[in-house]
Amino acid sequence: MDERNVVRDLARRYAEAAFSDEAKRNAANWGRLNALDSGARPPIILDQLPWHEFEGEEELRCRCESPFYRGIESYFRAELFRVRHFGADLVPAPYYPCEKVCSDTGCGISTVTQDETGHEDAQTHLYEDQLPDEASIGRLRTPVITALPEQTARNRLALEEVLGDILEVRPTGRMIWAALWDRITFWKGAESVLYALIDEPAFVRRLMARMVEIEMSVIDQLEAQNLLAAGPGTKCHCIETYVDEDRWRAIDQAHIRASDCWVSGAAQIFSEVSPAMHDEYEIEFMKPLYDRFGWVNYGCCEPLDRKIDIIRKLKTVRAISASPWTNVERQAEAMGKDYVMLRKPNPAFVASGYPDREAVAREIRQTLRACRHSGTPVAFVLKDITTVKGRVDCLTEWVEIAQAEIENS
């Protein structure tokens, strides 16, 4: 078997999808949506999929043996599989990504899970507390990030030799996931975090100040070494980042700044705290960081319908999550025309392997009605899909139900 020809054939098929009229239409529609055009068609995107359940699918079976070709092959097979079965409004990147190589010394703390004997296949975990007191904050180090452009260049040259006449090979940097409270939760455990917010406010403030200081330094280093990601083909916490604005079109790939980038962030553990506490321990600390970026995609699984007023303090927020636990009418009214609602439909409705058609349609209709009433641009982001019982068609059918509701609304 000629492994080079295997990946080149896949690259040609991928390029057809990436440069198709449909991809161009989808990119333009995302651009309108992210520019707050309430007349944009509500797009649909699926991410955070149960790929482990699809391993037996023939379309995903890799033929190449060498690690180099197998890496390329697996990328194209996964992307083509997604486009074919549940692509919806996905826009395939118009290039092959070559990750920029860098070294990272780390921050000195890592996640340690509690003994999970008997629960090895669980999708959730309990964590050992790595930050039990103020003295432990001293363990946090500021990472030193060093770009390795020579290695990046070698990788790019090798990829271009195989793909260059079919598809651009583009060095790509990091998209920032600035959910510092998620990291703290992985290092302390959810229960310890919540007790600390109540019992040890001074400790929490010192910890957050140090976390923001570290993250600001990381962003400075990434920006100085052109290791950030922005522009066509980049995804920000599942969504497409096309924006119909001059400053987005003017991004210089040779000098990407934080102000050119989208950033995603959340404080999911704060689903259990009041708006006042969310403001004090998240918004006030994170505002200088978020405000460095051009566009912010805020929120994940936490309901935010009672917290839009504090999120408004972040001057560059463009999109706000509306999780399955959100009162969508209240959130749309609070957001108005000022932000894109990223509606996260309930993945439980596909967990049986067959979509609950009535529940899916009702959820989409309710959201469309609320957003239309408030003039709120909206996208649907089905994510956090733990299982579809291995039935790929379940996701295809979910997309068809959602599309029908959007078209008939």
pLDDT digits (tens, 9 = 90+) for 316-339: 999 999 999 999 999 999 999 999
Locus of tokens 């102000």: 259
| In contact, 50 and 388? CB cutoff 8 Å | yes
Distances (CA, A) of 332 to 5, 139, 303: 50, 42, 13
DSSP SS3 for 391 = coil
pLDDT of residue 120: 65
| In contact, 311 and 298? CB cutoff 8 Å | yes
Which CB contacts under 8 angstroms, 24+ apart, belong to 285-288? Answer: 285/208, 285/209, 285/211, 285/212, 286/178, 286/180, 286/212, 286/314, 287/313, 287/314, 288/212, 288/216
- Asked if the model's pLDDT at residue 212 lies above 80, the reply is yes
Cross-strand pairs, 343: 322, 380
Phi-psi region of 23 (alpha: psi -120 to 50; beta: other; left: phi over 0): alpha
User: What's the rounded mean pLDDT across residues 403-409?
Assistant: 94
Listed residue (272, 275, 342, 265) closest to 310, CA to CA: 275
Q: Are strands 169-172 and 340-343 parallel, antiparallel or unpaired?
A: unpaired
Number of domains the chain is built from: 1
- Asked if the model's pLDDT at residue 124 lies above 90, the reply is no
Average pLDDT, the chain: 96
User: What's the rounded mean pLDDT across residues 127-150?
Assistant: 95
Query: Domain span at residue 143?
Result: 3-408
3-state secondary structure 319-347: EEEECCCCCHHHHHHHHCCCCEEEECCCH
Question: For 190, what's the count of Cα atoms within 13 Å in the CB-facing half-sphere?
Answer: 10
Of all residues in the chain, the percent with pLDDT exceeding 90 is: 94
CATH number of the domain at 352, please: 3.20.20.210
pLDDT of residue 122: 67
pLDDT digits (tens, 9 = 90+) for 335-389: 999 999 999 999 999 999 999 999 999 999 999 999 999 999 999 999 999 999 9
pLDDT digits (tens, 9 = 90+) for 262-284: 999 999 999 989 999 999 999 99
- Predicted confidence band of residue 2 (pLDDT cuts 50, 70, 90): very high
In sequence order, the 6+-apart residues with CB closer than 8 A to the CB of 364 are 345, 380, 401, 402, 405, 406
- Asked if the model's pLDDT at residue 250 lies above 70, the reply is yes
Q: Are strands 44-46 and 378-382 parallel, antiparallel or unpaired?
A: parallel
| In contact, 44 and 82? CB cutoff 8 Å | no
User: What's the rounded mean pLDDT across residues 198-220?
Assistant: 98
DSSP SS3 for 259 = helix
pLDDT of residue 201: 97
